[in-house]
Structure 1
Amino acid sequence: MGISLHTVGITVKDLGKALQFYRILGLPIPEGQDNEHHVEYTSDNGYSIGFIPESTMLQTNPHWQAPTGDNRISLQFGCDTPAQVNETYDKLVASGFKSFKEPWDAFWGQRFAQVIDPDGNNVAFFADL
């Protein structure tokens, strides 16, 4: 058996706030997990995102330090329609999350928007035009 990507892990400052963001984005992450040591979401198409609180990271690696500077990861989520891109963007911004780029019709043929998650990660969502 070869190697394959299973999970993208995101270390988060506040697990509850991070899960709130991704629930608003549309991931059906069950409630009641805000104080866990790790939460993993697996989509119907097989990708997984793991949310690891900083406190857990420090228990497993006492030398871990929070990153500084610009983020180095961008998550991108597909939407069914351009209208869903607009609706998702509006819900996240109305909930107090910071806009990076308002929805726009990109030259590559997609409706595209970007919002910053609670830990400073750039999260994009898009739909084909």
Structure 2
Amino acid sequence: MAPTFSAIGLAVADMAASLSFYRRLGLSFAAGAEDESHVEVTVSGGIRLMWDTHASLRSFDPGYQPAPPSGGWAFRCADTSEVEKLHADLVAAGYPSVQDPWDAPWGQRYAQVRDPDGNIVDLFAQLTSPK
């Protein structure tokens, strides 16, 4: 039997700070999740997104050291105005903008911000007519 793709995880320094950011993107977490060392949510398609604190990862890998951020997640927005609004809201809340909203050549309105651990999070929506 072939393995089945099931989950994607992020290592986080501060669970509460990370979940606060991802709540702004519409993810829901159980009450008290910010006090846990491991948190999961299931998104459309059945994929699990997982957060683990650095301390949690060290509990089974004592030599664990956080690596510099090198990836991130992308969130589809309903339309281009939602990209604009969400980017502005996140920046106003203190999250750094990587790229202000722009019309990408692949036909999407795109923006990028950094989460509390420095991962780049993409916000995008289809343009009504690609440029």
Query: Which residue pairs with 1:118 in the alignment?
Result: 116
Alignment of 1:2-17 (within 5 A): 2-17=2-17
Alignment root-mean-square deviation, CA: 1.2
Structure 2 counterpart SS, 1:124: strand
Query: Which residue pairs with 1:86 in the alignment?
Result: 84
Cα offset, 1:28, TM superposition = 2.1
Give the distance between the partners of 2:74 and 2:83, measured in 1 at CA.
12
The alignment covers a number of residue pairs equal to 127
| Deviation per residue, 1:21-79 (Å, 9 max, x gap) | 000122122342111121001113322210001110111110101113xx321211111
Cα offset, 1:125, TM superposition = 1.2
Structure 2 counterpart SS, 1:127: strand
Give the distance between the partners of 1:46 and 1:104, measured in 2 at CA.
31
Q: Which runs of 4+ in 1 moved over 6 A?
A: none
- 2:59 maps to a residue whose letter is Q
Structure 2: unaligned runs, 5 residues or longer: none
TM-score normalized by the length of structure 1: 0.92
- 1:106 maps to a residue whose letter is A
TM-score normalized by the length of structure 2: 0.91
Structure 2 counterpart SS, 1:74: coil
- 1:118 maps to a residue whose letter is P
Give the distance between the partners of 1:103 and 1:4, measured in 2 at CA.
35
Q: Percent identity?
A: 38
